[in-house]
Each structure stands twice: as structure tokens, then as C-alpha cells.
Amino acid sequence: MAEQLFLYGVYSIHVRPLELNGARWDAEYEIRHREKAVKAWTTVGGDGGYGDEAEAVAAAHQQAVDDIEHGAGIPKPRAFP
């Protein structure tokens, strides 16, 4: 699976899976606003990883949405929904 793009309000969330040893997966995400990174690539998964690629991508996407919703140092533009 290649890098995936998710839109969330005025942000774009870029997620890419990372294959680990033993058929396990992690994923990393970056949050951008107007193609400028507002949160650098962050890895989700940890030591055990996830059982499949789709699960890792879904977890990274959810973490990115949580980061946007709860601040995490990401400025919210006035036009944020």
C-alpha cells in the first residue's frame, strides 16, 4: 500500500505503512496545512506493531485526527470547522 491522503477540515493527513519483520506493521503520519507540515512524521505502532497494513494505517489516521482535535501543538486556523 502506498502513501494515503486523508482530508480533515483544512488539514491533509499523509499516512504511509512501514513493514516490520515477521509480517507486522507500523505506520507513520504527517499533518499538513496548505502543503506545509504542521506536525512532522510520527510513527504509530510500537514494538509489537499491527497485524496487517490496513490496521496500522487506520491507527495512524485516528492518531492524527486526535492530535488535530486536542491541539498537540497544531494551530487551528480561523476557518476550522
Domain ranges for the chain: 4-69
Q: State the pTM of this model.
A: 0.85
Average per-residue pLDDT in the chain? 88
pLDDT, mean of residues 20-42:
91
Tell me the three cell numbers of residue 7: 482530508
pLDDT for 78 equals 66
pLDDT, mean of residues 49-61:
94
What are the distances in angstroms from CA 57 to CA 5, 38, 63? 11, 19, 10
Residue 77 has pLDDT above 80, yes or no: no
Best CA proximity match to 20, nearest among 50, 54, 43? 50
pLDDT, mean of residues 12-33:
93
pLDDT for 2 equals 85
pLDDT, mean of residues 32-37:
89
Please work out, in degrees rounded to the nearest 5, the angle formed at the alpha carbon of residue 54 by the alpha carbons of 53 and 59. Answer: 100
